[in-house]
Amino acid sequence: MALTPEADDLLRGEIEMDESYFGGKRKGKRGRGAHHKVPVFGILERNGVVKVDVVKDVTAASLLNMTIKTVRRGSIVYTDKFRSYDTLMFCGYRHLRVDHKKRYASGKVYVNGLEGFWSFAKERLIKFHGVSPDKFPLYLKEMEFRYNHRKEIIFKLLAQNVCHLVQNRL
């Protein structure tokens, strides 16, 4: 079994990366450093899929580790100006940034696709009025699955997978 991901499994081409924070109380500081919020890192292949995971922190090491496991080197990576992304260009990625203090897009340099995923996930999770920290990664993966298959009929897709599993057991 290989310790590194197969080249075919890696995202490639134009990639958006961003971090977001879920949960916690609305009062007080928002965004990075907000109390009781769970940091989540997302990677979106434009015209492709999104992959998200809960991360222990948003340090350069944590974000770079997930990037290397998920994105093929040589890809164009779009991020905001957060300093944890500074090491990307030294690891074989073409790195372009958008400064959200000035604008949200500059030509093809934007992370609006991933911002759309954050909106999609938060809108659906808010109806639960809180998710246990233990189960949050599962809910997040469900949102990833739903987003990646948003143009398909989910019931039909799940039914096909269940039938496939049953046939393989026989």
Per-residue pLDDT of the chain (170 residues; tens, 9 = 90+): 344 445 578 999 999 999 999 886 666 666 666 677 899 999 999 999 999 999 999 999 999 999 999 999 999 999 999 999 999 989 999 999 988 778 778 888 889 999 999 999 999 988 877 788 899 999 999 999 999 999 999 899 889 989 999 998 87
1 within domain boundaries: no
CB 157 within 8 A of CB 149: yes
112 within domain boundaries: yes
2 within domain boundaries: no
CB-based burial label for 46 (10 Å; 0-12, 13-18, 19+)? middle
* Domain coverage including residue 30: 7-169
pTM of model > 0.95: no
When divided into structural domains, the chain yields a total of 1
Amino acid at 169: R
162 within domain boundaries: yes
* CATH number of the CATH domain containing 163: 3.30.420.10
d(CA 129, CA 46): 31
163 within domain boundaries: yes
Distance of CA 79 to the CA centre of its chain: 12
